[in-house]
């Protein structure tokens, strides 16, 4: 099978990570693949913060929980109140993808494509990954924003996605069953 299609079919979200760091060269390749994503009107109005400092990841995770509770973000309240919830699943690398909504007509879509490319590149290098969505609804919380500033997220940007990266500590997850009747062929 074509290697690209094989990677697309085999990639899975990984939610348990080994402690081992990911080589800088691998991370650079992963980010490079992200930055080659298509973008609306080729604005490339995105930014990727690559956080490899575990203390900073934990610190951001603590502020994330506080911001979700402060903002009463219904969708994630139970998660934020759970002592088991750990932003990034303890992975050694956490990436934040943001974009300037005034600079791109489709910042959300652009950011998702960056993450999609990075997930596939990571998988092809034996690195696991998983999207972490909880940051998006609190991107404008002032205290959380301060932490984002400290991680290089540009002030005019909103966070549209984030993800954990690292080596899978468990078995490779099985592919979820595909939902039926999601395609129409005409002609």
Q: Applying CB under 6 A, which residues contact ligand FMN?
A: 12-13, 15, 130-134, 173, 176
Which is nearer to ligand FMN, 50 or 85 (by Cβ)?
85
Which is nearer to ligand FMN, 104 or 168 (by Cβ)?
168
Q: How far is the CB of 3 from ligand FMN (least distance, A)?
A: 18
Q: How far is the CB of 123 from ligand FMN (least distance, A)?
A: 10
User: Could you tell me which residues come within 8 angstroms of residue 113 by beta carbon, excluding any fewer than 6 positions away?
Assistant: 37, 38, 39
Which is nearer to ligand FMN, 39 or 89 (by Cβ)?
89
Task: State the greatest distance between any 2 C-alpha atoms of the chain, in Å, as a whole number.
Answer: 56
Q: How far is the CB of 89 from ligand FMN (least distance, A)?
A: 8
> How many other C-beta atoms can be found within 10 angstroms of the C-beta atom of residue 106?
16
Contact (CB, 8 A) for 167 and 127:
yes
Q: How far is the CB of 24 from ligand FMN (least distance, A)?
A: 25
Q: How far is the CB of 175 from ligand FMN (least distance, A)?
A: 6
Which is nearer to ligand FMN, 49 or 134 (by Cβ)?
134
Secondary structure (H, E, C), 68-118: HHHCCCHHHHHHHHCCCCCHHHHCCEEEEEEECCCCCCCHHHHHHHHHHHH
Chain mean position to CA 153: 14
> How many other C-beta atoms can be found within 10 angstroms of the C-beta atom of residue 143?
11
Which is nearer to ligand FMN, 72 or 174 (by Cβ)?
174
């Amino acid at each position: 099978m074509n290697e690209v299609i094989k990677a697309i079919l085999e990639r899975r979200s990984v939610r348990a990570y080994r402690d081992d760091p990911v080589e800088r060269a691998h991370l650079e390749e992963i980010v490079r693949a992200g930055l080659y994503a298509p973008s609306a009107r080729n604005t490339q109005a995105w930014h990727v913060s690559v956080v490899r400092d575990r203390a900073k990841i934990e610190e951001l995770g603590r502020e994330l929980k506080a911001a979700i509770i402060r903002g009463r973000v219904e969708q994630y309240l139970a998660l934020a109140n759970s002592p088991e919830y750990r932003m990034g699943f303890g992975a050694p690398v956490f990436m934040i993808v943001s974009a300037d909504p005034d600079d791109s007509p489709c910042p959300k879509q652009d950011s998702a494509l960056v993450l999609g490319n990075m997930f596939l590149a990571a998988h092809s290098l034996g690195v696991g990954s998983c999207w972490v969505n909880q940051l998006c609804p609190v991107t404008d919380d002032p205290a959380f924003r301060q932490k984002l500033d400290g991680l290089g997220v540009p002030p005019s940007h909103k966070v549209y996605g984030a993800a954990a990266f690292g080596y899978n500590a468990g078995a490779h997850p099985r592919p979820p069953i595909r939902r039926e009747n999601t395609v129409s062929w005409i002609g």
